[in-house]
Structure 1
Amino acid sequence: MYYIHLDSKDIRENLAAEQYILNRLSFDEPLVLFYIQSPCVIIGRNQNAFAEINRTYAREKNITVTRRQSGGGAVYDDLGNVSFSFIMNAAGNNFGDFKHFTQPIIDALHRMGAATAAMNGRNDLFIDDKKFSGNAMYKKGTKMYMHGTLMFDVNLQEMETVLQVSEKKLESKGTKSVRSHVTNIKPYLNKKYQKITTEAFRDQLTLQLFSAAELGDIQDRKYELTAFDYQEINKLVEKVYGNDQWIYGEAPEFSLQKEKKFPSGLLDIRLSIDKGKIKSIRIYGDYFSQKDSRDVEALLTGADYDDKSIERVLANISMEEYFSGISKETFIRLLLD
């Protein structure tokens, strides 16, 4: 087995690297990839981003949002998480057998002191009935990967906030995440591992997987990506993982209701969103107006459901002529938040 420690802290670059390695590189043995990233949310291939993420909070906190190739639910990562990916030939490997692929990780954690770490359910790892790892698989052609998260010292409050979306006024056909009680691994490890950094935890996992005492002992097992590799990876970031059409445009059709009482009147907005675009919109309420709000509906129909697109299509109108006492900024925030 070979290994790679990615240096990037950008989830978009790391997922692009994973895809590039799967698609373009070949090895005579399986490869394990480790990566750590700044605060981000990664939604599953078949999920509705709008239904999974508190987008207002993510925007305010500069939390990166992207979509991965594999299925499963939404996850939050930050610098307290270690992600791993086993990349290998599909032949001879049982796609969907998460227990088989996560067992080396579980064994490593047992040796580090987390004695009760175990597979629980379809694809998650738990300690004392609390989830610390979500896992997913993806296959393309003759190759596949199984990747997952390891919550070492993640900000659980931040996770709870950014993944918390009210379902009261949103109806979606996308695959929804199942929220579980979660925990970090750190408190369950032997004391000597409870004061180490996330990077040191990653290194220790690597040593455990290779039954080595020091990384220098397995230097021949380490694979280094080239400058050309990184050029190709950056192309994937631009084309896929940093592309809003991939992140939001894959969302299945869903309906939203946005309602708020202002001093000048009630606004009740009903939207249908399909592939990240506003398919239809109706605006109701007891507000006063100088012009017919159907003009606003016509402008917004067909627009991408994001800040820049909506700001652009509404740029040349005076919103208060359509909704007395309500500014354009306030209207847009209500539409998107």
Structure 2
Amino acid sequence: MREGKEVRDARYNYAISSYLINESPVDEPIMRFYINQPAVIIGKNQNAFAEVDSNYLDAKDIQLVRRSSGGGAVYHDEGTLIYGFNGPADNGSYQDFSRFTQPIIQALKKLGVTKATFGGRNDLLIGEKKFSGTSMLVTDRKVIVGGTLLLDVDYDTLEKVLTPNKKKLVAKGVKSVKSRVTALRPHLAAEFRDISIEDFRQLLIQEVFQVQNISDIPSYSFSNEQWARIDEIVKEKFGNWEWNFGHSGKMNYQRDHRFPFGTMEFQLAVNKGVIENCMIYGDFFASGNVTEIEQALIGTTLSKEAIVAALESFDLANYFGPVSVDEIASVILS
């Protein structure tokens, strides 16, 4: 809440998350449940122009915001409840999504969604259909986990706004984004089927925290000075075109591959067999800065020997997931 009004601007909600993980003096774990106005949220390493129909975004006044963590693109609207956990990091935090999603699953089961399960890399499912995706960012001090809960789904907009890599859909055995997702509302117990998104949020919070009244849960509010800093973060990052769209360049060579840990895409500017520029995209979750890999490939020839020599000193799992330098070379040269 800011001045008594709920914040539903996606740029601000991601700036709040950034502030909590990077600058907040509060050490206790904090959990947030919020709702965004229509917005597409893309992962840190994704190519905005490849993941969404930007013309459709403009025509429908839908925001695009790049988050600081990895993962894929998701569509938020006012039928989507977003949850976020901020807390101290530990050695077991990185990519252990089930650890953070189990309380959500248990709360949903109390509301009648008895078939909710954790599955895949980072999804919550009913059968084979997804109602929630999860992302994670781990720093030296803190972990932030964010996820969506689709109470209702605008299937038409979802299908039009997201344009994922076809290999991702094939790997999941589906023909389209629309065929892979489901709303939660039809799966709720009968007495909850007509509730608003705000009432759904309240019930879920009560179940997660095991309280009768939300007022029993300690809450935290920002000061005017903290809101001023959040305004700056929006201006510097989440409301900045360069951050949200500007991770691209003029390329003439593209290769991609779907691994179990996510899609990797290499876009290269190649001149006379030499890599002059490199951009790496994907929905993988990486703690390392992939810019370091991009820079290492610049100046190498488009040959397996040169690519292996450029990358063999890197711990590639830290940047992408369990992948070998030979596998990366094979993708680039495929």
**Where does structure 2 lack aligned partners over 5 or more consecutive residues?**
167-175, 254-266, 270-276, 278-334
The residue aligned with 1:237 is 234
The residue aligned with 1:55 is 54
TM-score of the two chains, using structure 1 as the length reference: 0.68
Tell me which of 237, 245, 253 is aligned to 1:248: 245
Matched AA of 1:78? D
**How far did residue 29 of structure 1 move?**
3.0
The residue aligned with 2:220 is 223
CA shift digits 1:194-227 (9 cap, x unpaired): 1111111111111111101111232xx1111222
**How far did residue 91 of structure 1 move?**
2.4
Q: Are 1:45 and 2:44 an aligned pair?
A: yes
**In 1, distance between residues paired with 2:95 and 2:122?**
9
The residue aligned with 2:63 is 64
**In 1, distance between residues paired with 2:187 and 2:75?**
21
Q: Could you say if the C-alpha distance between residues 147 and 166 of structure 1 is closer, same or farther in structure 2, counting changes exceeding 3 Å? A: closer
**In 2, distance between residues paired with 1:235 and 1:124?**
32
CA shift digits 1:30-51 (9 cap, x unpaired): 1111110111001100000010
Moved over 6 A (4+): none
**How far did residue 253 of structure 1 move?**
5.5
Q: Could you say if the C-alpha distance between residues 254 and 85 of structure 1 is closer, same or farther in structure 2, counting changes exceeding 3 Å? A: farther
TM-score of the two chains, using structure 2 as the length reference: 0.69
The residue aligned with 2:9 is 10
What secondary structure is seen at the aligned counterpart in 1 of 2:199? helix
Bigger Rg, structure 1 or 2: 1
CA shift digits 1:82-127 (9 cap, x unpaired): 1111101112542110011100000000111000001111100101
> Structure 2 matches for 1:184-223, cutoff 5 A?
184-218=183-217, 221-223=218-220
Asked whether the equivalents of residues 6 and 34 of structure 1 are also in contact (C-alpha less than 8 Å), the reply is no
Pairwise CA RMSD: 2.6
Asked whether the equivalents of residues 77 and 154 of structure 1 are also in contact (C-alpha less than 8 Å), the reply is no
**In 1, distance between residues paired with 2:221 and 2:199?**
19
Q: Could you say if the C-alpha distance between residues 109 and 253 of structure 1 is closer, same or farther in structure 2, counting changes exceeding 3 Å? A: farther
**In 1, distance between residues paired with 2:99 and 2:193?**
27
What secondary structure is seen at the aligned counterpart in 1 of 2:84? strand
Q: Could you say if the C-alpha distance between residues 252 and 121 of structure 1 is closer, same or farther in structure 2, counting changes exceeding 3 Å? A: farther
**In 1, distance between residues paired with 2:132 and 2:228?**
31
What secondary structure is seen at the aligned counterpart in 1 of 2:180? coil
Q: Are 1:109 and 2:84 an aligned pair?
A: no
Matched AA of 1:203? Q
Matched AA of 2:119? N
> Structure 2 matches for 1:134-153, cutoff 5 A?
134-153=133-152
The residue aligned with 1:312 is none
Asked whether the equivalents of residues 39 and 77 of structure 2 are also in contact (C-alpha less than 8 Å), the reply is yes
What secondary structure is seen at the aligned counterpart in 2 of 1:29? coil
Q: Could you say if the C-alpha distance between residues 111 and 58 of structure 1 is closer, same or farther in structure 2, counting changes exceeding 3 Å? A: same
CA shift digits 1:27-73 (9 cap, x unpaired): 44311111101110011000000100011111000000110000000
What secondary structure is seen at the aligned counterpart in 1 of 2:152? coil
**In 1, distance between residues paired with 2:209 and 2:248?**
40
Q: Are 1:132 and 2:131 an aligned pair?
A: yes
Tell me which moved more, 99-108 or 134-143: 134-143
The residue aligned with 1:307 is none
**Where does structure 1 lack aligned partners over 5 or more consecutive residues?**
168-177, 257-271, 280-337
Asked whether the equivalents of residues 27 and 87 of structure 2 are also in contact (C-alpha less than 8 Å), the reply is no
